[in-house]
Chain A
Amino acid sequence: MHAVLNRIWREPGGRAGLLLVAAVLLLGLAGPSLVPHDPNRLDILARFGGPSAAHWLGTDHLGRDLLSRIADGGRVALLVALSTIAVALAAGTLLGIAAAYAPPRAERSILAAFDIVSAFPIVVFALAVVALMGPGLDKVILIVAVTLVPHFGRVARAQTLSLRNSPFLEAERVLGASPLRIALHHLVPNILGPLVVLASMDVPVVITIEAGLSFLGVGVPPPRASWGTLLHDGYITLSQSPWPVIAAGAVLTLATLGFTLFGEALRDAIDPKLRTEP
């Protein structure tokens, strides 16, 4: 762990990524309790304010403090990103391992299901689901997780296949370990590296999707702040004040940039061979 962080820190891109990720974590986790304003407190008289001593990033169309709302949105983005990826990683890994061990027919069905889900562009899939079930944070997490499952599942399957006949798993089997025990204690730790890399590379993707869905008004419901809803509100009132869009857009971009750089540096540090993976 320490060695990996060290290797990331040595690359300029990795260092920038690490710093940006740390900043986003700080903003999302500690930010909401540090910022001087209540993110939902209205101050109509102070609306559309530019950056000032009282409001560092200015105020939105209802006079709410943008910095406070962005910090609040950061918490939402992190919550969605981490829980989505945790769900997708767990489900994808299990399905992938199952596919590798399943009889050919079942394996084909699982792979076909992966193909079908992958045929839905994520945003489009999310729109279809939300149109039916109505918006909500839980649904966003669920939908995006489902669309990411094939991503993890395919890699987990390939990794399992390459390990399945390795001597140490063979030995465990001969010694009578149950398939579940083998999967959890021996397989998962050995295939986790590439999956973690994949997961870290998906963080910026999920953050972007959450913001996008919230921008379309089908993600995080108001009045809860999300970077996407901030951008949407700012877009509606763009001709009155550019500040909400600039502030929220910049933070969102820096966050995705940070996680992208971090993910790539992590990949290079853990397994440079993964570089060729799409």
Chain B
Amino acid sequence: MKPEGKKRIWSDYQKEMADDKFFYVRSCIRQSFFPGSEQFFLNLMRNILGKDVYENPAHTTCTGIGYHSDIVLPATIMTVIARHFALMKEAGYKNIVISCVTSFGLYTEILETWKHFPGELEKTREYLWKATGREFDIPETVAHTSDIVYKFRDPIAEKAKVSLVDSNSGKPLNVVEHIGCHYAKMFPKSGIGGAEFPRVLSGMIEAWGGNVVDYPERRHCCGFGFRQYLVQANRGYSVSNTEKKFSSMKPYKPDFVLTNCPGCNMFMDKWQYTIKELEGISYGENGESIPILTYEELAGLVLGMNPWDLGLQYHMVQPEPLLRKLGIDFDPADKFRTKDGRQMPVPENLINA
């Protein structure tokens, strides 16, 4: 194929994103389990890249987990999301940035629904007005936070203090990228590279010096899947999917996994502990497990942030072997200490610690 033709086709797989002035909405899972990620995103955007990011404390859950468990009705979730758009309108912003892949999938699904069924949009306007007296506008751009970090991957690479290279051997680290299903599998146009050639995480890894691992189950679900997890008796389905994915990536010896979805991050992290307890299996080298990082945590490490400020200690699989490999200095005594020097309780059963 001619290079011009290739370029034209690839342009269909891009998405429009704003450069500045973002309205930020948080994720329920991430702010509970990986709070350092969202904190660092705001720090990165505001203080390092100098962008305007607004966050409203009146923002609530999108109710996505309830929606995917069949306990929240579509009309309800549309009204909840319309309220978020109303908060954005009141603050004078037009570009929404969503921290969660589940929420991102829902926002895109609802915007698509309103596009094809304008009657639903009008009904939602009426419900929101009756319930809260608010009005809303459709956002000009909708982006996931990983889209924004991807967009600014080169400026981050220019400021980088750490490269994704093994400090002992000098070889690039092998990185598995895992993209949340709801990011682009439902609405391919909403993701960079679509559903076929997702580029959002592999672009970051390559820009920051790592090597992207391709393996048979690369696009397999992490195992979360809402229904498989929420009922305890069904969790075997969830953990079996995770086992399938990790068995497939194990021969390629990944140094860590990079994810853009809160659910994937949590389950690929915590299920490694569960599988180790159930079957005694570990998927990393030397009997260790594979650390699972968010893209903000990785960007923070690349920019030379303190790993404990990024919240890496709150993962089940601890990052120390990876930090040593990257040649990052860290103080083990600071790991579970607050900023004012108080010792926090140390969790039990951490892996790789």
B and A form one assembly: no
Q: Which residues does A use to contact B, with CB under 8 Å? A: none
- Chain B residues in the interface with A (C-beta under 8 A): none
